Amino acid sequence: MKKFNNGAIFMLTVVAIFLVLYRVAFFIVSVPSASMYPTIKIGDRIVTTRIWKKDSVERGDILVFFSKELDEMMIKRVIGLPNDRINIDSTGKLFVNGVEQVEDYVAYPDQKSGEYVVPEDGYFFLGDARDHSFDSRSWDNPYILEEQLEGKAQFIIYPFSNWKLLE
């Protein structure tokens, strides 16, 4: 019977640890659309940490969630937290609980207006490229429930030329 050498045992251990962490702590998503441009580009691969404490979600976070309505994973920016009042005027200005928001990350604003009251267990999401984003403003149900949140986008790892931390 052959014995494993130390190198093989080390590699198997590293792979096993990676697989456990990949299932429990993080996952990688590939971005299929330009809805988050210029922050995130089509084809970017993003390391995403799993969300265990929903109360850690903050306005402005970029989250990955599962849309039951569209039956797909999506990545967008959190705009509305539970119980927030969202107002988007006809010029594209965003107000949360009556306070105008400064959104330096928005590249292509649009004039899609609306008023929303986020339910107690829900979140309201918008893309950074507002004129190209299919987001809460366009869905039949504009809110993503807490149970649908999967993870927080942390950093772009591929392509290497786009590597950056996401804030």
Q: How many helices (H) and strands (E) does the chain have?
A: 1, 12
Contact 151, 64 (CB under 8 A): yes
Give one word for 99, left, alpha or beta, with left for phi > 0 and alpha for psi -120 to 50: beta
**76 catalytic residue (yes or no):** yes
**68 catalytic residue (yes or no):** no
**Structure letter (DSSP) for residue 80:** E
Q: How far is CA 102 from the centre of its chain?
A: 19
Sheet holding 85-88, edge to edge: 99-100, 94-96, 85-88, 114-117
Catalytic residue, from 33, 41, 56, 76: name it. 76
Q: Is 54 helix (H, G, I), strand (E, B) or coil?
A: helix
Q: Which of 1, 17, 23 has the alpha carbon at shortest distance from 9?
A: 17
Catalytic residue, from 33, 35, 56, 152: name it. 35
Active-site positions?
A: 35, 76
